[in-house]
Amino acid sequence: MMALLFALGAMLGAPPTNPALDDATIVAIFDAANGYDIETGQLALQKSHTKAVRDLAQQFINDHTAVRQQGRDLAKRLKVTPTPPKENPLAHDHEQALKLLRSKSGAEFDRAYADEEVRYHQAVLDAVSSTLLPAVQNADLKAFVEKVGPAFQGHLEAAKQLQKQLAQATAGK
């Protein structure tokens, strides 16, 4: 996930006037980012045997599924067809993050998952505030992105709490 969002930041580093970063592209990026975290959460449900990790993964899956659907519904209502960027390093970077997570097991997986979730949500928040939000043209889309920001912040804080919990469990052994 870390590489995914660093790529997101790099890809979105263009000024808001960049024609490649229009509302249709922003909707597609937003949809993909939610989808990627759903997939990562599903992997955590498969691999982790730790209740706290599984609970957080399920919460993230539920939340990102709902937000992704809300975004899709809004795009449909606005008649915006999500258009992924021509060069999309996100898919490749997401696969690399999944590959890393798949290579881990037990407590090592749990820590890697928590670390990725912290990095992922921080990078999303950074990209939204610095690049996506300033580039949004449609007022309804902008309001939607602003509305879900606190949820991403909440996910970041929850992932940080999981990191601390896992570190304390490791230190106690």
Cα(53)–Cα(50) distance, integer angstroms: 5
Q: How confident is the model at residue 86 (pLDDT cuts 50, 70, 90)?
A: confident
* CATH pick for 2-15+22-171 out of 2.40.128.130, 1.20.210.10, 1.20.1260.10, 3.40.50.700: 1.20.1260.10
The whole-angstrom separation of Cα 145 and Cα 10 is 20
Per-residue model confidence as pLDDT tens digits over 44-68: 999 999 999 999 999 999 999 999 9
CA pair distance 61, 132, nearest whole angstrom: 22
**Dist CA 172 CA 155 (whole Å):** 26
Tell me the pLDDT tens digit for each residue of 118-172: 988 988 888 889 888 999 999 999 999 999 989 999 999 999 999 999 999 887 7
Separation between Cα atoms, residue 78 and residue 87, nearest integer Å:
25
The gap from C-alpha 143 to its chain's centroid, in whole angstroms, comes to 19
3-state secondary structure of 49: coil
Token pair listed for 69: 């659907």
CA distance 60 to 47: 16
Q: How far apart are CA 59 and CA 53, in angstroms?
A: 10
Instruction: List the one residue out of 32, 26, 41 whose CA is nearest residue 4.
Output: 32
The tokens for 84 are 């992924």
User: In this predicted model, what pLDDT tens digit does every residue of 3-29 receive, in sequence order?
Assistant: 333 345 444 443 334 446 899 999 999
